[in-house]
Amino acid sequence: MANPHFQNLILNAGNTAATKHKKDVPMFLVNPSSSLFYQYSNDFMTYNSGDWTITTTEAGSGNASEALTSQAGGALLITNDDADNDLDFLQLKGESFKLSSSKRAYFEARFKVSDATESDFVMGLQITDTTPLATTDGVFFIKDDGDTNLDFIVEKDSTSTDTTAIHTMVDDTFVVVGFFIDPNTSQVSYFINSSDPVGVVNTNLPDDEELTVSFGIQNGAAAAKTMTVDYVNVICER
């Protein structure tokens, strides 16, 4: 059975000028072959901390926490300690995803943050790193403290292609972010809340490192901030 979070892309592939090139991309078929693709999907109906490398800073009056929260379909709630710059980042153990401009790949996640202005956060694929906000390799969405602008970064060996202000984040409001690699164009296309890409990147794809799912949040003020992750999906061509 197809992953339901891929359905918009599956159903809309080829229906617009922006998506017509996806008609020939097997990952948008209903049942992509396991012999051709490998995938990771997590709806966070269950959570095992042992599956994740967790990096925290806890300088406040309490502790950071990661726990399931009540929501149809499941969700993971990440809560920081309450000092400025306290943080909580999760990275899936095992760097299992290798990107290449000659192979198809797709990433999608749905999440929200409690404070869209006074927080830093990241969501995407990165190398395992204790400083995900300043990583050297990855393809990811990031927001800096002090504004609500979401940026998209494609980075290889500390050289990045930055596309800034692609979306305005809103407090406690879910957003769907994603990207896909089409070997027909050798481009990384990214999208927000839509099946149609809103932009493309052609440079600095981190094709010399294995990557992993990476997300989390850092306080931008002396108050505990939260990130709620609804789901994360990754599919890559073997």
Q: Are 8 and 195 in contact (CB under 8 A)?
A: yes
State the CATH number of the domain containing residue 180: 2.60.120.200
Is the whole-model pTM more than 0.85? yes
Q: Are 110 and 222 in contact (CB under 8 A)?
A: no
Q: Which of 187, 155, 190, 161 is nearest to 176 (CA)?
A: 190
Q: What CA–CA distance (Å, rounded) separates 126 from 11?
A: 29
Cβ burial, residue 183 (10 Å; 0-12/13-18/19+): middle
In a domain, 3, yes or no: no
Cα-based distances in Å from 59 to 55, 134, 175: 13, 20, 29
Q: What CA–CA distance (Å, rounded) separates 191 from 177?
A: 6
In a domain, 15, yes or no: no
Q: Are 218 and 80 in contact (CB under 8 A)?
A: yes
Q: Are 113 and 75 in contact (CB under 8 A)?
A: no
Q: Which domain holds residue 45?
A: 37-237
In a domain, 117, yes or no: yes
- The count of domains in the chain is 1
In a domain, 30, yes or no: no
Q: What CA–CA distance (Å, rounded) separates 39 from 87?
A: 28
Q: Which residue has the tokens 């602008």?
A: 149
- Per-residue confidence in pLDDT tens, the chain, 238 aa: 345 454 444 334 444 444 544 554 445 555 667 888 999 999 999 999 999 999 999 999 999 999 999 999 999 999 999 999 999 999 999 999 999 999 999 999 999 999 999 999 999 999 999 999 999 999 999 999 999 999 999 999 999 999 999 999 999 999 999 999 989 889 999 999 976 788 999 999 999 999 999 999 999 999 999 999 999 999 999 9
118-138 burial, b at 16+ Cβ within 10 Å, e below that, comes to bbbbbbbbbbbbeebbebbbb
